[in-house]
């Protein structure tokens, strides 16, 4: 355990102090930590046989590059990029606005719903926040919404992207823990919808406290509402096809990703939103994002090999067993660690650093890894709006430089509380996450 904890401390120094990218930091610590466990010391550094760590690292690199199920990542990213370029964000917001805009706080509610729908297709919380800031902020300002509520609804709504399937974060968790991706997708649906409902309740609470923060907009006729829905029927149909096919077992998540990317391409062509130049930009952005995620995943797997070789998960289990504490108390302690780490790390880094350590312990205690995956992703969502390193907040600060980060952090407090309520419910009532996968697959 001492060696593993020392390696973890060095990793934190490399990331936080030396500012080394997390992919390379995890790879370096994992490589040299594994080498040290094979007998490498300062006295035999030059004469040591490097075959073991080199073979381990090379095997991880090759296995990851050849893993068929990993093709789901670039395909879902491509699907999200194509849909984003097709102008979906404006149309989703218009549809949500048509049904909710006339209520107190209605535009903020419409923003939350549109963010949920857009992030479900896009799969990126940061991209959702940046895109919806440009779409939703002008009309909310036009109707006199407080900047704190307007920006908070965008920042909080954007966090839904890492839970509502298809979710790249859930895919990475599934690969790290060898858990069924389709079960994770099914498990994330109800908690994702619960998140939207609790965010709507948070908006209602804000406008109840201060009605001037979210004035009513104009009420639209049913003809206008149906017209707004008609504009998004293609994308809603694509989402239903992709997720329905996965849930019903018609095709695998990888096949669904291919169908989704192909369908998004057809939608973009039908809306005449593509040119050769924009298509090249989309493909290049997809390649860059995919390469970044693959590098991070490979580094995490090398680091995980070192952690497992050092015996940290087994030592943690022995420590917990010797303390004779209730298994649920262990989960509470893990969640407390996540909330603290969320104040320093962004979501993907936190997931990759901790899951290799915690999931063997959680599995040994008899908890369902699908349930734990949803709990981890929900607590990771919270980190996106937690000060001082709420990534969604800083994305909004960059897109809306006239709004101070402090104003946004103040506005997200009710949404952060709603997330804590959801986390407690999902943690204590496992059936919220497991009902759908149990019904469909077990």
The b/e string for 112-142 (b: 16+ C-beta within 10 A; e otherwise) is: bbbbbbbbbbbbbbbbbbbbbbebbbebbee
Rounded to whole angstroms, how far apart are CA atoms 410 and 209?
Answer: 14
Q: Three-state SS for 331? A: helix
pLDDT score, position 123: 63
The pLDDT of residue 241: 85
Dihedrals φ, ψ of 276, to 5°?
-60, -40
Q: Which residues in the chain come in under a pLDDT of 70?
A: 1, 39-49, 89, 121-124, 344, 346, 388-389, 442
Can you give the pLDDT at residue 124? 66
Q: Is the dihedral of CA 115, 116, 121, 125 positive or negative?
A: positive
> How far is residue 391's CA from residue 397's CA, in Å, rounded to a whole number?
10
Q: At what angle do helices 72-85 and 276-310 cross, to 10 degrees?
A: 140
Helix-, strand-, coil-residue percentages of the chain, each rounded to 5:
80, 0, 20
Output the CA torsion 393→405→146→347 (10° steps): 20
Residue 42 has a pLDDT of 46
pLDDT for the residue 386: 78
pLDDT in tens, 117-153: 777 766 667 777 777 777 788 888 888 888 888 888 9
Structure tokens at 67: 């893993």
pLDDT digits (tens, 9 = 90+) for 309-366: 877 777 777 777 777 788 888 898 888 888 877 776 767 777 877 888 888 888 888 8
Tokens of 438: 């149990």
């Amino acid at each position: 355990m001492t060696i593993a904890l020392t390696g973890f401390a060095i990793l934190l120094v490399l990331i936080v102090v030396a500012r080394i990218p997390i992919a390379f930091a995890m790879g370096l610590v994992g490589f040299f930590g594994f080498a040290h466990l094979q007998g490498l010391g300062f006295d035999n550094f030059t004469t040591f046989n490097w075959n073991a760590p080199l073979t381990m690292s090379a095997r991880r690199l090759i296995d990851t590059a050849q893993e068929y199920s990993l093709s789901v990542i670039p395909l879902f990213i491509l699907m999200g990029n194509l849909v984003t370029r097709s102008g979906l964000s404006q149309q989703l917001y218009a549809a949500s606005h048509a049904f909710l805009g006339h209520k107190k706080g209605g535009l903020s509610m419409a923003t939350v719903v549109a963010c949920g729908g857009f992030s479900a297709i896009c799969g990126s919380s940061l991209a959702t926040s940046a895109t919806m800031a440009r779409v939703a902020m002008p009309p909310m300002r036009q109707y006199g919404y407080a900047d704190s509520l307007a920006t908070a609804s965008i920042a909080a709504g954007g966090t839904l992207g890492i839970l509502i399937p298809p979710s790249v974060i859930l895919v990475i968790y599934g690969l790290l823990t060898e858990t069924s991706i389709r079960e994770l997708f099914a498990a994330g649906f109800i908690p994702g919808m619960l998140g939207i409902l609790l965010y709507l309740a948070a908006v209602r609470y804000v406008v109840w406290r201060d009605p001037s923060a979210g004035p009513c907009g104009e009420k639209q006729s049913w003809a206008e509402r149906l017209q707004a829905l008609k504009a998004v029927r293609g994308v809603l149909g694509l989402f239903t096809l992709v997720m329905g096919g996965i849930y019903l077992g018609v095709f695998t998540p990888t096949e669904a990703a291919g169908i989704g990317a192909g369908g998004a391409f057809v939608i973009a062509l039908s809306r005449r939103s593509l040119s050769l130049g924009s298509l090249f930009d989309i493909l290049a952005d997809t390649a860059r994002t995919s390469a970044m995620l693959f590098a991070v995943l490979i580094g995490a797997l090398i680091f995980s090999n070192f952690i497992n070789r050092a015996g940290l998960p087994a030592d943690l289990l022995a420590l917990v067993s010797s303390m004779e504490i209730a298994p649920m108390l262990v989960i509470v302690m893990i969640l407390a660690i996540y909330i603290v780490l969320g104040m320093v790390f962004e979501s993907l880094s936190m997931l990759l650093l901790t899951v290799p350590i915690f999931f063997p312990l959680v599995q040994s205690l008899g908890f369902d890894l699908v349930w734990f995956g949803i709990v981890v992703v929900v607590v990771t969502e919270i980190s996106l709006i937690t000060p001082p390193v709420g990534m969604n907040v800083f994305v909004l600060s960059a897109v809306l430089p006239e709004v101070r980060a402090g104003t946004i952090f103040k506005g997200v407090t009710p949404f952060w509380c709603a997330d804590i309520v959801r986390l407690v419910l999902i943690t204590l009532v496992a059936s919220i996450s497991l009902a759908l996968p149990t019904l469909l697959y077990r």
